[in-house]
Chains A and B, each alone.
Chain A
Amino acid sequence: MSKYSDDPAWSDIVPLPQDDGGPNPLAAIAYKDEYSEAMSYLRAVMAENEMSERVLGLTEHIISMNPAHYTVWLYRAKCLFTLSSDLKAEIAWLNPTALKHLKNYQIWHHRQTIIEKLDSADGEVTFISSMLEADSKNYHVWSYRQWLVRRFDLWHEGELEAVEGMLKEDVRNNSAWNHRWFVVFGNEKMEGVDDGVLEREMDYAKAAIYMTPQNQSPWNYLRGLLRYAKLPASTLKEFALEFASPEKPDEVHSSHALDLLADIYAEEENKKEAEKALDLLAKRFDPIRANYWNYRKSLLELPAAAS
């Protein structure tokens, strides 16, 4: 059972045994001997700052038992760089590991560190897509994708098309909506967007709303567009009226349309209609948020109430 202590290749190392903290530690884990021994050797090599092939093997062994161990990943990365290891081989090894541990968090930071050093995004988007197929809202995968796009200037390399594919699958996937925003507006080097792009984005969000009027993601996207372009809310008045009107409470198809209309009426200083819209939300269509809608009503009393 003693993988390391019986191995002559490790005979020069004096393992550092586990110390859980005093005679009666809290939340102590009864580690298996295999794990405990491997960790004792890791502590020992880390104390000596040893960077070697055998340490890489050791970290791989520990990761196979516990992929949620940030220390092992960080030390492995340091080791790979010090030894000038083959980083493409590292990525090839990471792929099945990541797919096996979909929710693992450290793997993505490790991947980012390696790809940064490798200075090449080859194959990454394909791999990300396969991950998102298994888990379409995985926060770490999307965050990694955003890092990748920014780092390798992939703004116009099929990202928009990829997002559209995913939104076609599930128009409620808010992570995909966020990525769309990022791809269109997230490039800090870009100086504004032209009206054509703005119009295209408006139309895209509107089309999604026609399919799912009660889907908040495209409404948030539309609202974001208004703020980005500093357009008045009334830009969307006709559109919002297609889904709701304070005058026709029995024909409301979207609480989000009422919310927007309340802002539009407030902007027009039509307090009465704004109040009607907010009352409908508070009393009938979205009562769980009654306090919030009533707060919005109280803002109508203030000068320059439009937000």
Chain B
Amino acid sequence: MATQQASTETTSARLEEIFISSNRIQELSEAEDIEDMESKSPEPLHQQMAHLDLIEQPLRDNLVTQSSELQDETLAAILPFLTDNPFGFELNSYGIPKLQRSKHIAFLHNALGKYPPQFAVMDAARPWLLYWSLQGLTCLREDVSDYRERVTYTFSACQHPTGGFGGGHGQLPHLAASYAAVLSLVIVGGEESYEMIDRKAMWHFMGNMKQPDGGFTMAPGGEEDIRGAFCAMVIITLLNLPLELPPNSPARVKGDETFLTNLPEWVSRCQSFEGGISSAPGNEAHGAYAFCALGCLCLIGEPSTTLPKYLSIPPLLSWLSSRQTSPEGGFQGRTNKLVDGCYSHWVGGCWALIEAALSSPNTSATSSNNCLWNRAALVRWILSCCQGKKGGLRDKPGKHPDAYHTCYNLAGLSAAQHHYVYLPERNTGLDEGPLAAAFKWDVADGGVGEEDKRVWDEEDEVRVVHPVFVVPWGQAEKCRGYFERKEGF
């Protein structure tokens, strides 16, 4: 457990918030960076490095407030990583640290191993540890099928008799735990993994979570927020569950018929005055919730139909674009908050979905090679600032790596390195029924134009991730196909 030491506090804060992050008071301990700064690159890095033309901040206000102080402190800790190479990593041909593939692989295998007693705070989040680690490993091109049996066994202890998965043995079923469990099983794949899921009971659990106002609660008696809407639709789609609500559902009792009743309308209510999307109507716009909202709408229908129908696109686009921070190049989760590596995915992953929504012939293809954001700046941020010295990826310099940030930094790296197209007519070999929309994506690499100033070599590349399911390319289709061929539950 050497690489996971001492990060209990940070990690548990992460897990408490499950999907969202960065709303804790930032404490830049600097411990790791200061200790590990012994090795410097032999010559001034700026001579070898692709020019960092974003370093200047041409516009700055003088008024000092808590937010600006925190931002300045944070940037001071980050800058050495943007302009130099404090950890002495080997550099790629653009003068940027190489992806430390083997170190990250070792870190994630380790993250699937045993944890010491102080990790009891993660008791309810073991399904997440499995998902983050397995997804991260596949991103790094590791074959994880050897884990299949152990994954299946581990989740068999988390499955609740009334349906759904909890965080562990005897814990109540929870939509986040169910999402992490189903995705993990989809990643390792295979009949024994699929068959261990009690789909009929899962359908009943989903029915229990569906609320009369259209949204989903996370657990029985739990909070209703947009994570619920996204997690539920991912599970229903992958497991090919009936769309009809089971008779026990509170929404069914009210008279609703399907899981989709009032759902996109509920999602729509989460768009805030800023243009971004919040956890529930009235709350603050936030990057992780934006991904949940876009993902949910892209499961329900084609992006070019559902996104403009339920969201106001220009303010959403403006808000999303504003989340990329300069000069860091990564993403922040909210206006005037700090950059954090996990948003490499939560915000970085929104782009494929929104770009697909804008590329319909009716709304004009987006210019600049169908790219609305700065891929190179994100890659630079991840490779230069988010790689831990001993493996694993992190929130930002000064923080310890953990499985959560490793998974979502790598997913963000994938989003920056690969291009997607949405092909409504794509023949997937799957049924053309409802909830088939998320299977129409294709990879369109190779058309990288001038706008994508590359800062990575081939050996820095990670695998293509499914833009909605966030699992390795091809795995979601296999699971869906398996359950389409299966009669009944």
A-side residues, CB < 8 A to B, are 16, 18-32, 35, 39, 42-43, 46-47, 65-71, 74-75, 77-78, 102-106, 109, 112-113, 134-140, 142-143, 146, 150, 169-175, 177-178, 181-182, 185-186, 211-217, 220-221, 223-224, 227-228, 252-255, 259, 284-292, 294-295, 297-299, 302, 307
Chain B residues, CB < 8 A from A25:
150, 153-154, 157
A138 contacts B23, C-beta separation under 8 Å: yes
CB of B336 within 8 A of CB of A217, answer yes
Chain A residues lying within 8 Å of B65, measured Cβ to Cβ, are 169-173
CB <8 Å contact, B284 and A106: no
State which of B53, B114, B219, B280 has its C-beta within 8 Å of the C-beta of A74.
B219
Q: How far is the CB of B458 from chain A (nearest CB, A)?
A: 23
Q: Which of B316-352 contact A (CB under 8 A)?
A: 317-319, 321-322, 324-327, 329, 334-337
- 12 more contacts with CB within 8 A, not counting A43-B170, A104-B16, are A22-B150, A27-B114, A35-B120, A66-B120, A67-B121, A69-B167, A139-B286, A182-B282, A213-B61, A228-B273, A254-B59, A294-B368
Query: Chain A residues near B123 (CB, 8 Å)?
Result: 29, 31, 39, 66, 68-69
A62 to B224 CA separation, bound complex (whole angstroms):
25
Ordered by A's residue number, 11 sampled pairs between the chains whose C-beta atoms are within 8 Å are: A19-B157, A26-B147, A30-B116, A31-B117, A31-B123, A71-B167, A139-B17, A173-B66, A254-B59, A287-B54, A291-B374
Interface string of B430-472 (1 = CB under 8 A from A): 0000000000000000000001000000000000000000000
Is B220 at the interface (CB under 8 A from chain A)? Answer: yes
Beta-carbon contact of A21 and B155 below 8 Å: yes
Among B125-133, B231-239, B416-424, the one that faces the other chain is B125-133
Contact of B364 with A30 in the complex, beta carbons under 8 Å: no
Q: How far apart sit A286 and B58, CA to CA, in the bound complex (Å)? A: 8
Q: Are A173 and B171 in contact (CB under 8 A)?
A: no
Q: What residues of chain B lie closer than 8 Å to A28, measured between beta carbons?
A: 114-115, 126
Cβ–Cβ contact B282 & A26, under 8 A: no
- CB interface residues, B 23-69, toward A, < 8 Å: 23-25, 53-54, 58-61, 63, 65-68
Are A178 and B154 CB-contacts (below 8 A) given A186-B282, A291-B368?
no
- Chain A: interface secondary structure? helix
Residues in chain B near residue A255, CB distance under 8 A:
59
Q: Which residues of A lie under 8 Å from residue B116 when comparing CB positions? A: 29-30
B63, B280, B322, B364: the one contacting A302 at CB < 8 Å is B364
Known A-B contacts A178-B272, A220-B335, A227-B273; the reply to A70 vs B154 at CB < 8 A is no
- Report A-chain residues with C-beta under 8 Å of the C-beta of B75: none
CA distance A77 to B235 in the complex (A): 28
Q: Which residues of A contact B327 (CB under 8 A)?
A: 288
The one of A70, A170, A299 that contacts B167, using a Cβ cutoff of 8 Å: A70
* Given contacts A178-B272, A227-B315, A29 and B282 within 8 Å (CB-CB): no
- Residue pair A285, B322 in contact (C-beta under 8 Å): no
Q: Say whether chain B's binding surface is mostly helix, strand, loop, or mixed.
A: loop
A18 CB contacts on chain B under 8 angstroms: 168-169
**Residue contact B367 to A289, C-beta cutoff 8 Å:** no
| B154 & A142 in contact (Cβ 8 Å cutoff) | no
Let me know if B274 and A178 touch, CB within 8 A.
yes
* Total count of chain B residues near the partner, CB < 8 A: 101
A289's partner among B67, B133, B374 (CB-CB below 8 A) is B374
A269 to B386, CA, bound (A): 44
Q: Contact: B117 with A178, CB < 8 Å? A: no
Could you tell me the distance between the alpha carbons of A32 and B116 in the complex, rounded to whole angstroms? 9
- A287 in contact with B53 (CB, 8 Å): yes
User: Nearest-CB distance from A59 to chain B (Å)?
Assistant: 13
With A20-B169, A71-B171, A175-B284 known as contacts, the answer to whether A139 contacts B222 (CB < 8 A) is: no
| Distance, CA A297 to CA B364, complexed state (A) | 13
Would A216 and B335 be within 8 Å (CB), given that A27-B126, A173-B67 are in contact? yes
Q: Are B221 and A78 neighbours in the complex by a CB distance under 8 Å? A: yes
CB of B221 within 8 A of CB of A77, answer: yes
The 3 closest A-B pairs by CB, nearest first: A22-B153, A224-B273, A21-B157
Kindly identify which residue among B113, B172, B337 contacts A137, using a CB–CB cutoff of 8 Å. Answer: B337
Kindly identify which residue among A26, A138, A285 contacts B154, using a CB–CB cutoff of 8 Å.
Answer: A26
Contacts of B79 on A, CB cut-off 8 Å? none
Give Cα A171–Cα B68 distance, bound, in whole angstroms.
10
**B window 111-161: CB within 8 A of A:** 111-117, 119-126, 129-130, 133, 147, 149-151, 153-158
Output the residue of B17, B158, B220 with the most chain A CB within 10 A: B17
Q: Is the CB of B170 within 8 A of A253?
A: no
Contact check: which of B219, B274, B317, B336 meets A70 at CB < 8 Å? Answer: B219
Distance in angstroms from A151 CB to nearest chain B CB is 12
Contact A295 B283 (CB under 8 A): no
**Smallest beta-carbon distance B284→chain A, Å:** 4
B290 within 8 A of A: no
A29 touches B115 (CB 8 A): yes
Is the CB–CB distance between A27 and B111 below 8 Å? yes
Q: Please give me the residue from chain B that is nearest to A24 by CB atom.
A: B150
Task: Kindly identify, within residues 285 to 337 of chain B, every residue whose CB is under 8 Å from any CB belonging to chain A.
Answer: 285-286, 312, 314-315, 317-319, 321-322, 324-327, 329, 334-337
Contact B121 A295 (CB under 8 A): no
Q: Knowing A78-B221, A211-B63 touch, does A139 contact B274 (C-beta < 8 A)?
A: no
Look across to chain A and name the residue whose beta carbon is closest to the beta carbon of B151.
A26
A142 x B283 contact (CB < 8 A): yes
Q: Is B377 part of the binding interface, using a Cβ–Cβ cutoff of 8 Å? A: yes
Give the residues from 61 to 120 in chain B that come closer than 8 angstroms, CB to CB, to chain A: 61, 63, 65-68, 111-117, 119-120
Q: Are A298 and B366 in contact (CB under 8 A)?
A: yes
Knowing A30-B115, A228-B273 are in contact, say whether A105-B18 is a contact too (CB < 8 A). yes
Identify the closest chain A residue to B375 (Cβ). Answer: A291
Residue of A nearest to B147 (CB): A26
Q: Is the CB of B368 within 8 A of A68?
A: no
Instruction: State in angstroms the CA–CA spacing of A177 and B285 once bound together.
Output: 11
- Is B411 on the interface with A (CB-CB < 8 A)? no
Nearest-Cβ distance from residue A154 to partner chain B, whole angstroms: 13
| Contact call A65/B154, Cβ cutoff below 8 A | no
Determine if A70 and B172 form an interchain contact, defined as CB atoms under 8 angstroms apart: yes
Q: Is the CB of A20 within 8 A of B124?
A: no
A27 and B130: CB pair below 8 A? yes
- Report A98 CB to chain B, min CB distance, Å: 12
In the docked arrangement, what's the CA distance between A59 and B172, Å?
14
Closest residue of chain A to B67 (Cβ to Cβ) is A172
B324: which A residues are within 8 A, CB to CB?
288-289
* Chain A residues with CB under 8 A of B67: 170, 172-173
Contacts A66-B121, A174-B335, A181-B273: A106 and B16 contacting too (C-beta < 8 A)?
yes
**Residue in A closest to B274 when the chains form the complex, CB atoms:** A220
Inter-chain contacts of A175 with B (CB < 8 A): 284, 334
Residues on the A chain within 8 Å of B154, using CB: 20-22, 25-27
Q: Return chain A residues, CB-CB under 8 Å to B156.
A: 21-22
Query: Does B183 belong to the interface (CB within 8 Å)?
Result: no
Once A27-B111, A68-B16 are accepted as A-B contacts, the answer to whether A74 and B220 lie under 8 Å apart by CB is yes
